[in-house]
Structure 1
Amino acid sequence: MSLRRLLVVAVGAGVALAGMPALAAVDPGREAPEIAEAHAVALLERAAQAGRRLTYSGTQYVATWRPGTSWSALVDLEHDPVRGSVATDGTSAAGAVLDPRMLARLADSYSLAVSGTGRCAGRSATIVEARRADGALAGRFWVDRETGVLLRREVYDAGRRVRSSAFLDLSVSPSSPDAPVLAMAARTGAERPSAAAVAHLRSAGWHVPERLPEGFRLFETRRDGEVLHLAYTDGLSTLSLFAQEGRLGTATFAGFARESVGGRPVWIHRAAPERVVWSGGGVVWTLVSDAPDPAVQAVVAALPRDEAPGSGVRARLSRGLERIGGMLNPFG
């Protein structure tokens, strides 16, 4: 087992980082690669634990850039260990914290290292970089030196920034000794699905891949009536697949544009998050993701797709999309 993976497993098993002080500053150029990676993982573990023990509030600037479109917003949010991060309008803001379930995939998928220091929201931060196997920058994390709160994160694709979130201001309350216990209770039952659960879905006729292209791994399954929800992550991005028996009709969908992936038709809504709808194998698929566009296209190309749309299920799909609207956060 690698050193970075050992650290992730140790924290998942209950090794307490909650009370650990800010890690000492290091010179990234003077650390051996293994030590540099272990230090980076420890910092990100501290950020994940901060979400389970601290209460804080602030304003975040959130932005995404996709082919032909961009989106940005200011979000006032509050965070506590039980509810997680919630915007003032009542919607979930899962991206405001580093979810421990994503961290294991992050450590497996990317090379991690401390790249330096910086400031965000008027606070001193240590910066951790995630790089792909070819050395390309995939993401950056700004971890507050005082509290461990994740102050800022960025996701990159082919040298371009495609997603960013950063606190403009932040107020952190003293931690409660009961917070880790309450947080664990609130997340009970939200672990990775068992092999038996996946096998049961497959025996019922559902296509449930455990791995998808670009390093995405299955970590959660849900059912809402006739809609199956499969949640995946590569550690930096999340991807939700919604499956519903049927075929697409020929009518268009408001806000969606017909495009081709691998020579087969799909309907894409380029927004934040991006949505892709298509039919294949007797199932209507809806993909919702904040991943870079090449990753989304690779995943769509790997799943069953029909050569041409069928007819007659548009109304049923619309009802399904309404339900999907309440299931978009795979960490909720």
Structure 2
Amino acid sequence: MTEGLGNGRCGRFSEDLSAFADHTLPPRRWQQVGYHVAGCPACRDEVAAIKRVCSRLSGSCAAPTTSAPESLAARLERIAEGASDAPLYMSAGAPGELPSRRRARSRLIRQGSIAGLGALATMFVLALMLAPDPPTVEDPVHMAREEYSLSITSISVNETIGAVLLAHERGARPSEPVQQRARASIVGSPFEISAREAAAALSHGPEAHLTYSGTQRVWISDGRGAFHVNDVRVDEVAGEGSTLAVLDAQGDEFVSWFVPTSTCCSPTSPAGWSFLEYEGRDQVAGRWAKVIEARDVDGHTVSKWWVDTANGMVLWTERYDTFGRPTVISGFTELDLEHAQLAPDGIELAFMNVPAAVVSEPVQEWCTGLRYCPEMLAGMPLVAHASSDLGNRTTMRLVYSDGFRSVSVYWTEGLLAADGATRVSDDTPGMPEVEVWQAGHGVVSVATNGGLAVLDRAVSALPAEEPWRPTLLERFREGLARVGGIN
């Protein structure tokens, strides 16, 4: 019916003429079309023709005399929502599309999906921003030595030396440096004994069945030829444990620790060591003692022990460097073999598990942080282990010992703070040799009293140095945990 319309402007209104005749156009559009029809004879004729057709089809093109119920109109408006101003036969979507419930649902799903993706993207970015930085290890050498001291004290191997070292690391004031020589003993000539005889003489077994109290004096080399001195009050009750009270430079008690009785460790001499026993006897704290000496494969004197001839208790011990100079000395200055009393306020050191029943398991469920916890390290067996997750930081402690030398391995989550370095080491005379390095998302420290050769062997058997490079997924997981208040 639109053929022959008068001018080019009519094309803008021709599609709305039918709706204009039906009075179904939106008010504003109806006015625009009516204004045009009033001034365009061709369009007026077209509208008249449309009305005649309507009249023939339905008898009338006028507006209906009855209106729809208000509830129906309201319902239709709710269905149409934003398109309620348009005729129902006109789609609210793209041209040519008819309204439908399916299309409306699809539109809602699309809108919901976009909103959900936006929320997920926001949460992802927020989680990455809030992901906590790893805890830092500010003083790795201090950490390694503290762990070594704690470990050897906990397993009752040179426990008074370990207690003094641990007290120093935790702030005890050492004495002013003093000069100290190796113990002068008036004894006869030495004669060679077997490694088995030496191990039997130096076994800690007899001490576990003794109750005694006394004072041990410990000299620790300052690395410059002098020594720091601390006294340790010892109370040992057979079958229960011992109290170690470390005194500071003024003679005041700095800290008191309780160490449960331990059967560690049966001495097994390192390969190449030889042992000598002196013919004469020496006196220590009023007790007669025999003197046993250990020499390394090169013939250097490594250690000497003064062993009570009556009960097998080690009364005095000294360790030497390759030049025969003492680096650590420890021995009783007072000893009472009848009385002892455990201090009620002694702080128990970290509990250490003896691995005899679990180390042979194919899956080491107790091993945390490290990919694998070796049963042997630098020729020494694993004698104790412990793990912890206190303070949202997972840690793993391993202790290896052959009764003569010990190695402490410590793993902790975190980042090595060493001015950009990923490995640090220290071999100050008189102190445990130490090496610490970054291994992925954790820091590994190794400390030993066995020398640099033992340290190198231990380090080579543990995870290699690796920088901390968290993946996006790991950072997202950590950030999400923080957002959720998990940590």
Please give the range of the TM-score, normalised by the shorter of the 2 chains.
0.5 to 0.7
Cα separation, 2, equivalents of 1:218 and 1:110: 21
Aligned to 2:374: 209
Aligned to 1:261: none
Cα separation, 2, equivalents of 1:293 and 1:73: 26
Report the Cα offset of residue 151 of structure 1. 0.2
Aligned to 2:198: 40
- Write the letter of the residue equivalent to 2:387: R
Question: Deviations along 1:221-273, whole A, 9 cap, x unmatched?
Answer: 22112211111113223222111244324559xxxxx7xxxxx6316596855
3-state DSSP class of the match of 1:125?
Answer: strand
- Write the letter of the residue equivalent to 1:80: V
Aligned to 2:443: 284
Distance change >3 Å, CA 200–CA 189, structure 1 → 2: closer
Aligned to 1:62: 218
- Of residues 386, 407, 412 in structure 2, which corresponds to 1:239? 407
Aligned to 1:223: 387
Say if 1:151 and 1:166, in contact at 8 Å, map to a contact too: yes
Distance change >3 Å, CA 75–CA 145, structure 1 → 2: same
Cα separation, 1, equivalents of 2:454 and 2:400: 12
Say if 1:76 and 1:87, in contact at 8 Å, map to a contact too: yes
Distance change >3 Å, CA 161–CA 103, structure 1 → 2: farther
Cα separation, 2, equivalents of 1:68 and 1:197: 48
- Of residues 170, 178, 190 in structure 1, which corresponds to 2:354? 190
Aligned to 1:81: 238
Question: Deviations along 1:195-240, whole A, 9 cap, x unmatched?
Answer: 2177445798623233333x33322222112211111113223222
Report the Cα offset of residue 297 of structure 1. 5.4
Distance change >3 Å, CA 239–CA 68, structure 1 → 2: farther
- Percent identity among equivalent residues? 25
Cα separation, 2, equivalents of 1:310 and 1:43: 51
Cα separation, 2, equivalents of 1:291 and 1:279: 23
- Write the letter of the residue equivalent to 1:125: A
3-state DSSP class of the match of 2:198?
Answer: helix
Cα separation, 2, equivalents of 1:91 and 1:310: 40
| Higher-Rg member (1/2) | 2
Say if 1:126 and 1:144, in contact at 8 Å, map to a contact too: yes
- Write the letter of the residue equivalent to 1:53: H
- Of residues 107, 119, 132 in structure 1, which corresponds to 2:296? 132
Cα separation, 2, equivalents of 1:292 and 1:64: 16
Cα separation, 2, equivalents of 1:155 and 1:118: 18
Question: Deviations along 1:45-102, whole A, 9 cap, x unmatched?
Answer: 3xx22221111111111123364585431112111223433223422579xx9x7533
Cα separation, 1, equivalents of 2:202 and 2:434: 29
- Of residues 256, 263, 284 in structure 2, which corresponds to 1:120? 284
Aligned to 2:115: none
3-state DSSP class of the match of 2:218?
Answer: strand
Cα separation, 2, equivalents of 1:301 and 1:67: 27
Question: Deviations along 1:26-51, whole A, 9 cap, x unmatched?
Answer: 9853x7x55xx444333223xx2222
Q: Structure 1 residue 53 and structure 2 residue 209: aligned? A: yes
Instruction: Output the TM-score relative to the length of structure 1.
Output: 0.61
Say if 2:408 and 2:447, in contact at 8 Å, map to a contact too: yes
Say if 2:267 and 2:402, in contact at 8 Å, map to a contact too: no
Distance change >3 Å, CA 279–CA 92, structure 1 → 2: farther
Cα separation, 2, equivalents of 1:81 and 1:141: 22
Cα separation, 1, equivalents of 2:353 and 2:467: 40
- Write the letter of the residue equivalent to 2:444: W
Instruction: Output the TM-score relative to the length of structure 2.
Output: 0.44
Distance change >3 Å, CA 235–CA 66, structure 1 → 2: farther
- Of residues 305, 321, 332 in structure 2, which corresponds to 1:141? 305
Report the Cα offset of residue 285 of structure 1. 1.2
Say if 1:280 and 1:304, in contact at 8 Å, map to a contact too: yes
Report the Cα offset of residue 170 of structure 1. 0.8
3-state DSSP class of the match of 1:50?
Answer: helix
Cα separation, 2, equivalents of 1:67 and 1:303: 28
Distance change >3 Å, CA 81–CA 304, structure 1 → 2: same
Q: How does 1:154-173 map to 2 (within 5 A)?
A: 154-158=318-322, 159-173=324-338
Cα separation, 1, equivalents of 2:222 and 2:462: 22
Cα separation, 2, equivalents of 1:188 and 1:74: 26
3-state DSSP class of the match of 1:104?
Answer: coil
Aligned-residue RMSD, C-alpha: 4.0
Cα separation, 2, equivalents of 1:107 and 1:297: 16
3-state DSSP class of the match of 1:51?
Answer: helix
Distance change >3 Å, CA 146–CA 236, structure 1 → 2: same
Greater strand share, 1 or 2?
A: 1
3-state DSSP class of the match of 2:298?
Answer: coil
Q: How many residues align?
A: 256
Distance change >3 Å, CA 216–CA 41, structure 1 → 2: closer
